[in-house]
Structure 1
Amino acid sequence: MSALTHRLNQVLDRLTSDELLSGKGLGNEIGFYIFDYPPEDELAVREHLTFLMEHLPKKRPGLRTKHVNLFDMVLSHLQERNLLDKAIEQARKKGDGFLLKALEMPLHGTRLAPVFERACDLPNHDLFLVSGVGSVYPLLRTHTLLNNLHHVMRDKPLVLFFPGTYDGQSLRLFSSLIDNNYYRAFKLVA
């Protein structure tokens, strides 16, 4: 059994545990968790997310879980603001660097926190699984979004599936790009 398979096999039990769902043992910290994994295993993790969404209601009846894909959320947000077609055209004409600069403010974590909150439908869900981190990079920086979600999520647990490494202090997207320090999350499984 591979190390990833061993870790993935622990996720369902961890997500349905009273400890995670009630925030026990967090020491007044927010209930943010990170499941980091080797980027080359992205497809296996996506498959496992599908498995989780199917099996969570069976394992813990009544648990209302929402899966938010950050890439899909950002695309929908840009489309709603009539920016998606413009962004694609600008990238074609002026390059990716220009596009990143132009979208920096509309996609900053402070502006995306309310978008994320709407995508989550917080009152009607108990647990949030977040994916799409690698796909949305470099349009969205994970640490910026997470730092702006503290007040949004309140006491509801959020689990970020992260293609890279998290050492409890910093996120390394694709295990090489440092995404600044982010120390307010817990590793979902070791």
Structure 2
Amino acid sequence: MSSIKNLQKRLDKILDKLESQEFLHNQGLGNEIGFYVFDYPAEHELVVREHLQLITQKLQQRGRSFASINLFNCIIELLQQRNLLQRAFQLQQERGDEALFNALKGPLEQNRMADFIADKANLEQSQFILLHGLGSAWPMIRGHGLLNALHAKVGAVPTVLFYPGEYDGTMLKPFGRIESNNYYRAFKLVP
């Protein structure tokens, strides 16, 4: 089966999973936190984005209360709040990507991002959290680092990371190409 057909079959199962009682109430997880990864081939990013828009519209129409958070937009908002965005643009122009990456390690540290996301998610009102846009935010935000930092912040609110790459149940492989030693234990949203 082609990768796009396989992906489409998996995408078509997301809505039912998000509305299931098992997902919404963290049932059947063996006392583990309800963190999920939906991995997909990075070359199909636009297909996933479109499907995610469709899913969020349906969930809103059905009265679900949830947070859909674009991680790249979080970087922009956080830098704007700290009056760093224009300086970051200028630094990147003058000194390049590596200098920018090094300068933003502190302001975009994973625990700061996790606090920002938890606030943005309005945890008291959200049944679950959908995190997306990681491909645009990488390497400023790393999937395993962010999920580790979010554990203590979101409590029992089920959280899904849409991940452009591969996830085998223990290791995240960014874009399906970059080998990294980044153990993370979560559940696959749709195997």
The 5 A counterparts of 1:109-148 are: 109-148=110-149
- What RMSD in Å do the two structures reach over aligned CA positions? 1.3
User: Residue in 2 aligned with 1:150?
Assistant: 151
The 5 A counterparts of 1:67-86 are: 67-86=68-87
Cα shift at 1:106? 1.1
Cα shift at 1:66? 1.3
Matched residue SS, 2:73:
helix
Q: 2:47 aligns with which of 36, 44, 47?
A: 44
Map Cα deviations across residues 29-62 of structure 1 (whole Å, 9 max, x no partner).
Answer: 110101000111100100011111111244xx44
Map Cα deviations across residues 103-133 of structure 1 (whole Å, 9 max, x no partner).
Answer: 0111111121111111111111111111010
- Give yes or no for contact 1:39–1:163 (8 Å, CA) kept in 2: yes
Map Cα deviations across residues 57-103 of structure 1 (whole Å, 9 max, x no partner).
Answer: 44xx4421210000001101001101110011011111111111110
User: Residue in 2 aligned with 1:25?
Assistant: 28
Cα shift at 1:181? 2.5
**Alignment CA distance shift 1:25-1:154 (3 Å):** same
Does residue 15 (structure 1) correspond to residue 18 (structure 2)? The answer is yes
Map Cα deviations across residues 13-35 of structure 1 (whole Å, 9 max, x no partner).
Answer: 11100111110111111101010
Within 2, Cα distance between the matches of 1:123 and 1:10?
A: 27
Q: One-letter code of the match for 2:43?
A: E
Matched residue SS, 1:122:
coil
Q: One-letter code of the match for 1:77?
A: L
Cα shift at 1:179? 4.6
Within 1, Cα distance between the matches of 2:133 and 2:164?
A: 9
TM-score when scaled to structure 1? 0.95
Does residue 178 (structure 1) correspond to residue 182 (structure 2)? The answer is no
Cα shift at 1:183? 2.8
Gaps spanning 5+ residues in structure 2: where? none
Matched residue SS, 1:149:
helix
Matched residue SS, 1:73:
helix
Segment drifting more, 82-91 vs 174-183: 174-183
Q: Percent identity?
A: 45
Within 1, Cα distance between the matches of 2:165 and 2:154?
A: 24
User: Residue in 2 aligned with 1:97?
Assistant: 98
Within 2, Cα distance between the matches of 1:180 and 1:137?
A: 16
User: Residue in 2 aligned with 1:54?
Assistant: 57
Q: One-letter code of the match for 2:22?
A: E
Gaps spanning 5+ residues in structure 1: where? none
TM-score when scaled to structure 2? 0.94
Segment drifting more, 179-188 vs 131-140: 179-188
- Which 4+ stretches in 1 moved above 2 angstroms? 178-184
Within 2, Cα distance between the matches of 1:57 and 1:132?
A: 20
